Chains A and B, each alone.
Chain A
Amino acid sequence: MTVYDPAVPDPAEAAAKATAEILESTLRSAARGVVVDSPPGAGKSTLVVRAALELAAAGRPLMVVAQTNAQVDDLVLRLAEKEPGLEVGRLHSSDGDPYDKALDALEQVRKSAKAGDLAGLPVVVSTAAKWAHVKNVEPWAHAIVDEAYQMRSDALLAVAGLFERALFVGDPGQLDPFSVVGADQWAGLSYDPSASAVSTLLAHNPELPQHRLPVSWRLPASAAPLVSDAFYPYTPFRSGTGPGDRRLSFGVASDGSAPDRVLDEAAESGWGLLELPARNTPRTDPEAVHAVALLVRRLLDRGGAAVSERAEEPVPLTAGRIAVGTAHRDQAAAVRAALAELGVSGVTVDTANRLQGREYDVTVVLHPLSGRPDATAFHLETGRLCVLASRHRHACVVVCRAGVTDLLDEHPSTEPVQLGVAVKFPDGWEANHAVLSHLSEHRVSWTP
C-alpha cells in the first residue's frame, strides 16, 4: 500500500515512487488484481498508458476497458503518440461513426467491430459495453480497467471472463455509477449489480494490493488542499506545483462590477464565489444562468493569460480552456443558449457526469444547490461537487444563490443506512459545508 509520506519532499519523486510500485505490483505480483486510486488530475491516464506499454513490452496480450468511446479514442491516440511502433486494436461498435476519425490517420491502429479481427494484437482497446458482447475468444492474459469506480458491478461481471488478471484504475471521489431503476433489493450484497466495480471486486478479493497516486498535477496549490480535505480526508494528496507556480492575469483592468471583482479574486486566490440574493428558483434560474454566461464573457473580454509550469510564456486564456459545469442537462442547455446570446462560442458547457476526467484552465460552476428549496440525495452527492470543484488548473468561480448553508442545515442526510453497505465518508452534506465555508472567504455579492 502506498502511503502519504510527507518525508518525501519532492512531489515528482513521490509520484515516481508510487508509479514504480504500481508497475511492480502489476507486472510481478501474484495477485489477480491491482487497484489504483487516483485523485483528480494525478496522472491516471499517463499511468494507464505506461502500464499498457510495459505489459505489451513484457509480451502479455492486453485488453483495455474504458467507459466511453471518447475515453477509448483518447487512450488509443496517447498510446500511438508514446509508442508509434506498437500495434493497437480499436474494437468499436457497428453503429455509424463509431470512433474518432483521427484514428484513421494512424497506420499502426487497426479498427474493427469484431474482436476476432483484432486477435493477436498486443493491445486491444474498447468500451466496457462493447467488450460485454465479445464471446468465444481466447481470454487475454491481462486487462486494464480505466475509470473503474464509474463502472458498474454488472458491467464488470459481463467482461471479467475475458481476462486472467487486471489493473483497476479510477478516482473514488467522482460520481458513483447509478441505475435508472431501484436496486435497493440488492443493497448490502457484495455483488450488488448497481454498485461500483471496485467495491464488488474488493468485497470478494480483499487481499488485492491497493495503491494510490499521491500528487495532483492538475489542481493548483490553491485547490489541492481544499479538495483533498473536503473529499479525500483519509487519503490526502498534494499538488504537484507550489503556490505562485501558476498565475492568472488579465490584460484589461476590472470595470469595478461584481463579475469583474469575483474574477480578480479568483485570479488572485484560485477561488471565487459570486453570490446572488437568496431566492427559490426553477432549475434553470435565469439570473444565475445569465451570471454564469456573463462571467465567461468577461473572462474572454479581459484577455486572460495563464502562467504555468507548462510554458515559458503566459498562454492566452481561450474559449477552449474554459468550461462551465452544472448539475442538470437543462441547466447546461440554458447556459449554452445564454452564451450564444452573448456571442460566445467554443466554451465547454456540460454536466458533472460528462466533465469527469476533463481538464480546463478556468471553470465556472453553477452550484448544484443554488436556488433549491430542498437538498436531495442527487444534489448532495459528494462526487458531483468533487467533479465540479476539481476540473481546473488555475481558478474556479462558483455562482450560487445565498442561503445554501441554511438549506443544508435544514436537510441533514436522511438516506437509510443499509446493512452491509459501507457508509461513504465524507457524505455530501459534510463536503458541501467544507467547500462553502472555504468559498465564503472569496465571496462577492451581486444583485443583478
Chain B
Amino acid sequence: MSLIAHLARMEAVESGRAQPLATVRHRHLSERPLVLVPLTTAGEAGAPLGALVGTGPDEPRLLVVPQPRDRELRFAFLAELAEEVLPYVDGYADAVEPVERKDPATGEKVQVELCLDAPQLIVPSRAGIEYVRLLGRSTRFRRTAEQDPDTPYPAPPRVPLLGRWLTHYGERARVPGSSLLLAATDLLNRHWATGQSSLEDQHLGALLAWIDPYDDEPGAEAAYRAELGRDSRGQLLCPPAGPATDPAFDNRLLAPAIEAYDRARQAVGAAEDGETADAALAALHRAEREVRRLVVSQLKPTWDATWRALGLLRELPEGARVADRWTRDRWSFTGHRDKVAAGEPPQPRRDDAVTAAAKLAAREQAQGRLDAQEALDDPLVLAGRRLAGEAFTGEVVEVTPAWTEARRPAPRPLLTFRTDDRPRLEPGTKVYRSLDGRPQTAEFVAPEEDGALVLRLLDKMGRAKEPAEGTVPEKGERIAWTLFEHDQRTGPKLPAPEDTPWTHGGPPRSADGELPDAVTPEDLL
C-alpha cells in the first residue's frame, strides 16, 4: 500500500468516515449493467443455491434451487440463468462499427467489426468473481442432448454457451483495469479508503458503512454492526454478500426448510389418489415458497447494497482514459463473440505454455498502462506518485534553446524547472509529460544550486531546426512530469503453440477441444 493510502486510512480512522482515494472514476460503468448476486450451498462447491439477476435495481429476477443436491433442479437454475444472461449478452453483439486493423497473420490492413458497446457484469464481491469462474468451469464442457445423444445427463441447450461466456468474463476480470466483470467491493476500495483492515474491506456491508452511512454514525461502529449485528433469532442483520451464506442461517432456517421441501416431494410421489396428490402438491408449493422466501431474505440486502455502490460510483465523473481501456474490453468481447460464432471449442481447461506466457505479458502491460493512466487522469493519484518520488509537478522558470551537435542540428532545449516535490532523479533519468495526450520525453541533466532541476527536452518537436510551435513549454508553465512511461511497450512475439520449444515440453499434445472428465461413482452432484 502506498504512503498516501496509509494516510487516507489514518484520516478515515480519525474522522470516522471513508476518505477519497480518487477524484474521478477509474473504471467504466455501463448504462445498463447486469448485476448478478449468486449464493452457493455450504459444503457443496459448485452447487448454486440461488441468485438475483437483472439490469435494474427494481426488477431483479429471482432464481432459487430448492434442493441444491438435485441435478435436475440445478440444471433448471442454470438454464434460467442462461435465459437471463445470454439475451443480455447477445443484445450487444450486433451493434458494430467498422475498424481498420492489422491482420496479425499477414500484416496487411483489414477491416473488422468492433462492437459499439459491451455487456458488463457486476457481482457484489471478489468471491463472486471467483464464483462466476467456477460456474463457467463447471458448465462449459457440459454436453447437451443435441451435441451428444448418448450423454448420461444432458445439459439444457444454452448452458454450455453460458459457461463459455462466464469463463471469458472470469478470465478477463484478471486483466488489470478491465471492466467487463467487476466486483462492487473492488470498485469501492479503489475509490475510497476506510479505517478498517483490507480483509474487512471485502465485506460490502461494512464498506458501505464507512463510505455511505445512513446517518452520522461513525464508520467503525456502523461497520461493526454490519459485520456482527444479529437479530433476536440470531440471524445477521446484514447478510454476507455471498456466495457463501452465514452458518446460522444455514443451520437454523435453510436446512429445516429444505428438509420440509424434501418431505413434501416424497409425499407427492407417494400420493395414491387425486385428492391426496392435490394436497401434497399444494404442500410442495408452500415448501418451495418458503425456501424462496429464505433465499431472497439473504439476497435482497446484497442486491440493494450493490446498486447503492454503483450509485455512489456514478456520482464520480469518469476518468479521461477510462474510455481507452473500455475499448480494449470491447475488443475482448468482440473477439469472443467471433470465436463463439465461428464454432470454436470451449476454452481449454488449462492454458498451454504459450497462451499462459502471452496472458501474463498482456496483464503486466495492462497493469503498467493502468498505473500510468490513473495517475494522468487524477491529480489525487498523481499526488501519491509524487509522494513516492515517481512524479513531480512545478513550474518552468527558464527555457534555454539548445541543439544537438549533429550535421543537421535538432532542437534539444533546456528547461529550468522548480518543484517542491522530491523525485528520485539521477542524471540521465528519463521523465515524461503529456503533450496533447501524447507523451513527450525529457532527461534530467543536473540540479541547480538553488534546488531547481535542469531538464533537456528530447522529442516531439518536429523535424525542423526550430521546434514546432507549442511543443516546448513556456516560462511560467506548470507541468506534471512522471518518471514512468505513459505508454507500454509491446512485448516480444512468442512462438506459436505448435512451435513450443523443448525447454517447455514441446507442442501441446492435442489442439482439439477437451472432453469433460468421465463421471465416476464418487461424483455425487
Contact of B451 with A by CB under 8 A: no
Which of A32, A133, A179 is B360 in contact with, Cβ under 8 Å? A179
Chain A residues whose CB sits within 8 angstroms of the CB of B492 once the complex forms:
129, 132-133, 158
Residue of B nearest to A156 (CB): B503
7 extra interface residue pairs, beta carbon distance < 8 Å, beyond A32-B502, A190-B505: A154-B361, A179-B360, A179-B364, A181-B174, A193-B353, A193-B356, A204-B503
Given contacts A132-B492, A181-B367, A192-B356, contact A330 B176 (CB under 8 A): no
| B458: nearest chain-A partner, CB-CB | A96
Q: Is the CB of B388 within 8 A of A160?
A: no
Cβ contact within 8 Å between B363 and A157: no
A-side contacts of B494, CB under 8 Å: 154, 157-158
A135-B493, A157-B503, A160-B502 as given contacts; A333 in contact with B424, CB under 8 Å: yes
> What residue in chain A is nearest B361 (Cβ atoms)?
A154
Q: List 28 A-B contacts (CB under 8 A).
A: A129-B492, A135-B493, A153-B357, A154-B356, A157-B354, A157-B494, A157-B504, A158-B357, A158-B495, A160-B501, A160-B502, A160-B504, A161-B501, A185-B174, A186-B356, A189-B351, A190-B505, A191-B356, A192-B356, A193-B360, A197-B503, A200-B503, A200-B504, A201-B503, A204-B505, A205-B503, A329-B424, A333-B424
B350 at the interface (CB under 8 A from A): yes
- B353-A157 in contact (CB<8A): yes
Closest CB in chain A relative to B284 CB, distance in Å: 43
Report A136 CB to chain B, min CB distance, Å.
11
Report how far A180 CA is from B360 CA in the complex, Å. Answer: 10
Smallest CB–CB gap between A133 and chain B, Å? 5
By the criterion CB–CB under 8 Å, are A183 and B503 in contact?
no
B residues 319-367 in Cβ contact with A at 8 Å: 350-354, 356-357, 359-361, 363-364, 366-367
Closest residue on chain A to residue B360 by CB atoms: A193
User: What are the residues of chain A within 8 A of B428 when measuring CB–CB?
Assistant: 97
Q: Closest B-chain residue to A163, C-beta based? A: B501
Taking a contact as CB atoms under 8 Å apart, the answer to whether A183 and B495 are in contact is no
Interface residues of B in 478-517 (CB under 8 A from A): 491-495, 499-506
Cα of A186 to Cα of B171 in the assembled complex, Å: 13
Closest to B501 in A: A160
The smallest beta-carbon distance between A385 and chain B, in angstroms, is 23
- CB distance B503 to A180 under 8 Å? no
3 pairs of A and B residues whose beta carbons are closest in the complex: A132-B492, A160-B501, A154-B357
Q: How far is the CA of A155 from the CA of B428 in the complex (A)?
A: 28
Q: Is the CB of B364 within 8 A of A191?
A: no
> Which B residues fall within an 8 A CB radius of A?
174, 176, 350-354, 356-357, 359-361, 363-364, 366-368, 388-389, 424, 428, 491-495, 499-506
Rounded to whole angstroms, the CA-CA distance of A97 and B359 in the bound complex is 31
Q: What chain A residues lie within 8 Å of B176 (beta carbons)?
A: 181
**Nearest residue in B to A186 (C-beta to C-beta)?**
B356
Closest to B495 in A: A161
A330 and B388 contact, CB distance less than 8 A: yes
Would you list which residues of chain A between 148 and 192 have a CB under 8 Å from chain B?
153-154, 156-158, 160-161, 179-183, 185-186, 189-192
Are B174 and A191 in touch, CB under 8 angstroms?
no
| A58 to B366 CA separation, bound complex (whole angstroms) | 45
Whether A204 contacts B504 in the complex (CB less than 8 A), given A181-B176, A181-B367, A191-B353, comes out as: yes
In the complex formed, the residue of B with least CB distance to A201 is B503
- Give the complex CA separation of A183 and B504 in angstroms: 17
Using Cβ atoms and an 8 Å threshold, which residues of chain A touch B360?
154, 179, 181, 183, 186, 193-194
Whether A33 is near chain B, meaning CB under 8 Å from some CB there, is yes
A33 to B501, CA, bound (A): 13
Is B504 a contact of A153 with CB atoms below 8 Å? Answer: yes
Docked complex: A179-221 residues within 8 A CB-CB of B: 179-183, 185-186, 189-194, 197, 200-201, 203-205
Q: How far is the CA of A333 from the CA of B422 in the complex (A)?
A: 11
What chain A residues lie within 8 Å of B356 (beta carbons)? 154, 186, 189, 191-193
> Which A119-133 residues have C-beta < 8 A from chain B?
129, 132-133
What separation, in Å, do the CA atoms of A378 and B360 have in the docked complex? 20
Interface residues of A, Cβ cutoff 8 Å to B: 32-33, 97, 129, 132-133, 135, 153-154, 156-158, 160-161, 179-183, 185-186, 189-194, 197, 200-201, 203-205, 329-330, 333
Contacts A135-B493, A157-B494 given: A181-B364 contact, CB under 8 Å? Answer: yes
Query: Beyond A158-B492, A329-B424, is A205–B364 a contact (Cβ under 8 Å)?
Result: no
The distance in angstroms between the C-alpha atoms of A193 and B495, with both chains bound, is 14
Given known contacts A161-B499, A180-B364, A186-B351, A193 and B493 CB-to-CB distance under 8 angstroms: no
Please give the distance in Å from B410's CB to the nearest CB on chain A: 13
User: Which residues of chain B have C-beta atoms less than 8 A from A33's C-beta?
Assistant: 503
Instruction: Give chain A residues whose Cβ lies under 8 Å from the Cβ of B499.
Output: 161
User: Roughly how many angstroms separate A191 CA and B505 CA in the complex, as a whole number?
Assistant: 8
With the chains together, A133 CA to B354 CA distance in Å? 16
Smallest beta-carbon distance B225→chain A, Å: 28
Give the residues in chain B near A181, CB-CB below 8 Å: 174, 176, 360, 363-364, 366-367
CA distance A133 to B495 in the complex (A): 11
Q: Taking the nearest CB of chain A, how far is it from the CB of B166, in angstroms? A: 16
Whole-angstrom CA separation of A292 from B493 in the bound complex:
45
Residues of chain B within 8 A of A179, CB atoms compared: 360, 364
Q: How far is the CB of A145 from chain B (nearest CB, A)?
A: 10
Q: For B352, B389, B495, B504, which residue has the most chain A Cβ atoms within 10 angstroms?
A: B504
Q: CB-nearest residue of chain A relative to B362?
A: A181
Chain B residues within 8 Å of A201, by CB: 503
Chain A positions within 8 Å of B503 at CB level: 33, 156-157, 160, 197, 200-201, 204-205
A185 to B503, CA, bound (A): 21
Determine the distance from Cα of A33 to Cα of B350 in the docked complex, in whole angstroms. 27
| Given contact pairs A32-B502, A189-B356, A330-B389, A182 touches B174 in the complex (Cβ within 8 A) | yes
Minimal Cβ-Cβ distance residue in B for A129? B492
Contacts of A160 in B (CB 8 A): 501-504
Smallest CB separation, A110 vs chain B (Å)? 23
Q: Within 8 Å CB of B363, what residues of A? A: 181
- Please, which residues of chain B bring their CB within 8 A of the CB of A330? 388-389
Nearest residue, chain A, Cβ from B357: A154
In the assembled complex, which residues on chain A have CB atoms less than 8 Å from the CB atom of B350?
A: 189
Separation of A133 and B352 alpha carbons in the complex (Å): 21
Give the docked Cα–Cα distance between A190 and B503 (Å).
Answer: 10
For A161, the chain B residues whose CB sits under 8 A away are 495, 499, 501
C-alpha spacing A157/B360, complex, angstroms: 13
Q: How far is the CB of A115 from chain B (nearest CB, A)?
A: 13
Specify which chain A residues have a CB less than 8 angstroms from the CB of B491 in the assembled complex.
132
CA distance A179 to B362 in the complex (A): 12
- A260 CA to B363 CA in the complex, in Å? 50
> Which residues on the B side are within 8 Å of A191 (C-beta)?
352-353, 356-357, 504-505
| CB proximity of A137 to chain B, nearest CB, Å | 14
Give the residues in chain B near A180, CB-CB below 8 Å: 364, 367-368
Closest Cβ of chain B to A93, distance in Å, is 11
Residues of B within 8 A of A183 (CB): 360
> In the complex, A197 Cα to B504 Cα: how many Å?
9
Return chain A residues, CB-CB under 8 Å to B424: 329, 333
Within the complex, the shortest CB–CB distance from B362 to chain A, in Å, comes to: 10
Closest to A188 in B: B350
Complex CA gap A133/B490 in Å reads 11
List of B residues within 8 angstroms of A329 by Cβ = 424
- The 8 Å CB contact of A157, one of B174, B351, B357, B364, is B357
Most buried by B among A158, A189, A191: A191
Pairwise interchain contact B495-A157, C-beta atoms closer than 8 A: yes
Distance (Å) between the CB of B338 and the closest chain A CB?
24
Complex CA–CA separation, A295 to B166 (angstroms): 59
Complex Cα gap A40–B501 (Å): 30
Give CA–CA (A191, B424) in the complex, Å: 37
Most A CB within 10 A of own CB, among B353, B363, B499: B353
Q: Say yes or no: A333 contacts B389, CB within 8 Å.
A: yes
A147 nearest CB across to chain B (Å): 16
Contacts of A205 in B (CB 8 A): 502-503
Q: Which of B367, B424, B501 has the most A CB atoms < 10 Å from its CB? A: B501
Measured CA separation A182–B499 after assembly (Å): 26
